[in-house]
Amino acid sequence: MKRIFRIAFLISMLLGLAACSRTEPTAGPAESETKTGKWPPLPTSGFVANRRATQDDLNKGDAAFLTSDGTPMTTIEIPQYAYLQQGGKRIQGIVIQAERTKDGKELIGMKSLAGSHLVGMLWEYKLLGKTPPE
């Protein structure tokens, strides 16, 4: 799992996107990230849906990563509730971005309930839909 985050980090660095380093690819989730909290209402803005993220989206915090060749994954509802499995822990958050790279990698950007922007592969997420989980 750490390897995936290292790869995502290296890709962002190769693209010259130091802003993507918000995600700590070699570190496990912070304790504050893994505490179970009450789910907030889904946002009406602050996410990227049905299009590729731009540098402006990343700067505003509406996106968690940039790709040079990504296409939006239109089959994934954005925003929606999700868990990211990282380091054997489950992190609660809201999906704010979903893109597929030219080579087929399916990347998800999420804003954790603690406020961190996280990036992972689709298979690392449990997508929960638009109804707050109990």
Give me 114's structure tokens. 């603690």
Is 25 contained in some domain? yes
Domain count, the chain: 1
Give per-residue pLDDT as tens, 78-115: 999 999 998 889 999 999 999 999 999 999 999 999 99
Q: What does the alpha-carbon distance between residue 23 and residue 65 come to, in Å, rounded to a whole number?
A: 9
Residue 119 lies in a domain: yes
Q: Is residue 134 part of a domain?
A: no
Boundaries of domain holding 125: 2-129
Per the domain annotation, does 76 fall within a domain?
Answer: yes
Encoded tokens for 56: 């402006």
The model's pTM: 0.75
Inside any domain, residue 70: yes
Residue 31 pLDDT level (bands cut at 50, 70, 90)? very low
Is residue 124 domain-resident? yes
Q: Is residue 51 part of a domain?
A: yes
